[in-house]
């Protein structure tokens, strides 16, 4: 196993067979085993060579939980009648950003369901206002699948980055997680379109989603290699009580941190968050993520009333160090493990795109 880890570190590549062997082996290893310690140490060394011990922060603004899609795993799926729906108006979004900028955030992430209210024109107005007010800040969107023209318009309006997880790179697995109105091919096309439009692009997947196999995870790694995204977000699947997957088990924290480390070795310059889902499943989840090679944390800047309603899965964290207003707490927690929160924009070192200013 050590030789596969070294091969990945040295060549940033493995074959599908090798991925399966390595992931299979890790799934039966403890996270304090010597192979795990070795993997994490290699990932930290690679991350340190690129980004030092900095942890970038992003202020997450959850702009709407209205969604036309019906993904089987997601708490804000269209057919969940128990979800209390909300949408932030542009002025409310501006207020969140103002608060966030005062707190020291220099990246804002507008994330939401696929809500038709947020047309290209509405978003263009929001983007250009935010970019004019906060010239020193980056703007990230995470608003699902849109047309190439739409992505281009949002990019031209000044948005810098876009997050769109592929969720799983296997066709039949994709169709077990989504209704047949949604296609993996479309999702992949959107990701390539985002890159073409000049966005720093983020993708990723859930770890331990229902029906996921080791082969699927190997395929996720191969797809990420092909896409070569600037950002990769992965987190454990966590069931939501009002979805078809209510009774499925959560993904494991251990497998998530192993995969974070492997992604760091495969894409050394990538920006990898220690996600909220990781923090939700384990008190020390974010720290574990950082110690496995992650270098981003995305505290919540949404208004209190929105936070409760943006429930993608059960028990989603939105207080404590997860809350943007408790940045001091997060800083202390990172310092304790030898890392420092920084307020830089934190663009990807690998970006081919010129940041919008």
Burial class (CB within 10 angstroms; exposed 0-12, middle 13-18, buried 19+) of 92: middle
Please, which residue, 105 or 313, has the CB nearer to ligand 5AD? 313
Torsion angle of the four alpha carbons 30, 33, 39, 44, in this order, in degrees rounded to the nearest 10: 100
Question: Rounded to whole angstroms, how far apart are CA atoms 198 and 324?
Answer: 29
Question: Rounded to whole angstroms, how far apart are CA atoms 164 and 145?
Answer: 8
Please, which residue, 131 or 187, has the CB nearer to ligand 5AD? 187
Contact 288, 252 (CB under 8 A): no
Please, which residue, 44 or 240, has the CB nearer to ligand 5AD? 240
Please, which residue, 248 or 339, has the CB nearer to ligand 5AD? 248
Burial class (CB within 10 angstroms; exposed 0-12, middle 13-18, buried 19+) of 304: exposed
Count CB neighbours of 189 within 10 A. 13
Cβ 174 to ligand 5AD shortest distance, Å: 12
Please, which residue, 131 or 188, has the CB nearer to ligand 5AD? 188
**Residue 79 tokens, joined:** 């057919």
Cβ 73 to ligand 5AD shortest distance, Å: 4
Please, which residue, 42 or 80, has the CB nearer to ligand 5AD? 80
User: Which residue in the shown chain puts its C-beta closest to ligand 5AD?
Assistant: 313
Cβ 355 to ligand 5AD shortest distance, Å: 24
Cβ 169 to ligand 5AD shortest distance, Å: 13
DSSP assignments along 25-69, one per residue: HHHTS-TTSHHHHHHHHHHHHHHHHHHTTEEEE-EEEEEE---S-
DSSP state at residue 324: G
Question: Rounded to whole angstroms, how far apart are CA atoms 331 and 67?
Answer: 34
Please, which residue, 159 or 277, has the CB nearer to ligand 5AD? 277
Tally: H helices and E strands in the chain:
14, 9
**Residue 215 tokens, joined:** 């082969």
Task: List C-alpha distances in Å: 45 to 35, 139, 294.
Answer: 15, 29, 12
Residues that bind ligand 5AD (CB under 6 A): 73-74, 165, 167, 206, 235, 237-238, 240, 277, 312-313
Q: Would the CA dihedral through 131, 305, 256, 239 be positive or negative?
A: negative
Cβ 115 to ligand 5AD shortest distance, Å: 14
Please, which residue, 274 or 312, has the CB nearer to ligand 5AD? 312
Cβ 227 to ligand 5AD shortest distance, Å: 15
Cβ 18 to ligand 5AD shortest distance, Å: 26
Cβ 313 to ligand 5AD shortest distance, Å: 4
Cβ 94 to ligand 5AD shortest distance, Å: 23
Please, which residue, 146 or 240, has the CB nearer to ligand 5AD? 240
């Amino acid at each position: 196993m050590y030789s596969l880890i070294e091969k990945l570190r040295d060549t940033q590549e493995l074959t599908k067979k090798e991925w399966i062997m390595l992931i299979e082996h890790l799934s039966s290893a403890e996270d304090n085993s010597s192979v795990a310690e070795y993997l994490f140490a290699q990932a930290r060394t690679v991350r340190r060579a690129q980004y030092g011990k900095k942890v970038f922060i992003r202020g997450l603004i959850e702009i709407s939980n209205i969604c036309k899609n019906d993904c089987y795993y997601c708490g804000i799926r269209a057919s969940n009648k128990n979800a209390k729906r909300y949408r932030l108006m542009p002025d409310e979004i501006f207020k969140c950003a103002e608060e966030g900028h005062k707190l020291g955030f220099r990246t804002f992430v507008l994330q939401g369901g696929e809500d038709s209210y947020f047309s290209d024109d509405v978003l263009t107005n929001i983007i250009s206002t935010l970019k004019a007010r906060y010239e020193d800040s980056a703007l990230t969107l995470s608003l699902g699948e849109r047309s190439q023209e739409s992505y281009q318009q949002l990019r031209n309006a000044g948005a810098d980055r876009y997050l769109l997880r592929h969720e799983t790179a296997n066709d039949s697995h994709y169709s077990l997680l989504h209704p047949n109105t949604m296609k993996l091919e479309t999702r992949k096309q959107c990701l390539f379109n985002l890159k073409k439009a000049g966005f720093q692009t983020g993708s990723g997947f859930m770890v331990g989603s229902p029906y996921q196999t080791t082969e699927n995870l190997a395929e996720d790694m191969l797809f990420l290699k092909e896409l070569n995204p600037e950002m990769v977000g992965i987190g454990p699947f966590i069931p939501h009580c009002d979805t078809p997957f209510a009774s499925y088990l959560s993904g494991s924290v251990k497998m998530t941190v192993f995969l974070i480390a492997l992604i760091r070795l495969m894409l050394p310059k990538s920006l990898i968050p220690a996600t909220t889902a990781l923090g939700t499943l384990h008190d020390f989840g974010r720290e574990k993520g950082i110690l496995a090679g992650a270098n981003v944390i995305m505290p919540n800047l949404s208004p209190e009333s929105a936070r409760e309603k943006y429930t993608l899965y059960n028990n989603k964290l939105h207080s404590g160090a997860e809350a943007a207003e408790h940045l001091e707490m997060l800083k202390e927690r990172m310092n304790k493990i030898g890392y420092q929160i920084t307020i830089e924009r934190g663009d990807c070192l690998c970006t081919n795109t010129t940041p919008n200013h």
